Amino acid sequence: SEMRGGPRVQSIQNAYNLLNRTFETGLAEIAMREQVGLLAYSPLAQGYLTGKYLDGAKPAGARSTLFNRGQRYEAAGAEDAVKRYIAIAREAGLDPAQMALAFVNSRPFVTANIIGATTMEQLRTDIGSIDVA
């Protein structure tokens, strides 16, 4: 953009969560150096980090139940990682969703954490993540 006088890149929107941290190895260094913020989407790994899909559960109305697009979070070892993560959250007395969002919030390269909620209760939980250190 400097060579051609174009607008400077300001942000990148990539999936980023505790199960998908590829941004850290592929783009974080250059993004920080060039001051290009990450707009992190899917911070709850399409809901997998809440635990609602554990043991093959398919809750009615849930995104992965409706659209069958959760395969990236169903890889070998993913469910074990989610179970361990949820255990850590509970040991700390935290809601797993809030802890997952707080992790994303805490990264220095994240400009915005793109949250999604179906209910007001989920929205309150998501917003409450800002107070979790």
29-74 pLDDT per residue, tens: 999 999 999 999 999 999 999 998 888 888 777 777 667 776 778 8
Chain centre distance of CA 54: 17
**Residue 3 belongs to some domain of the structure:** no
**Residue 130 belongs to some domain of the structure:** no
SS3 of residue 37 by DSSP = strand
Task: State pTM to two decimals.
Answer: 0.89
Whole-angstrom distance, CA of residue 95 vs CA of residue 71: 24
| Contacting residues for 77 by C-beta, under 8 A, at least 6 apart | none
Q: What is the pLDDT of residue 71?
A: 72
Whole-angstrom distance, CA of residue 11 vs CA of residue 29: 14
Rounded (5°) CA angle 38-40-45: 150
Q: What is the pLDDT of residue 72?
A: 77
**Residue 6 belongs to some domain of the structure:** no
Q: What is the pLDDT of residue 62?
A: 73
Number of domains into which the chain is organized: 1
Q: What is the pLDDT of residue 80?
A: 94
**Residue 2 belongs to some domain of the structure:** no
Rounded (5°) CA angle 115-47-44: 45
What CATH number does residue 108 fall under?
3.20.20.100
Find the domain containing 61 and state its range.
11-125
**Residue 1 belongs to some domain of the structure:** no
Instruction: Supply 106's token pair.
Output: 């805490």
Q: What is the pLDDT of residue 65?
A: 64
**Residue 5 belongs to some domain of the structure:** no
Average pLDDT rounded to a whole number, residues 89-107: 96
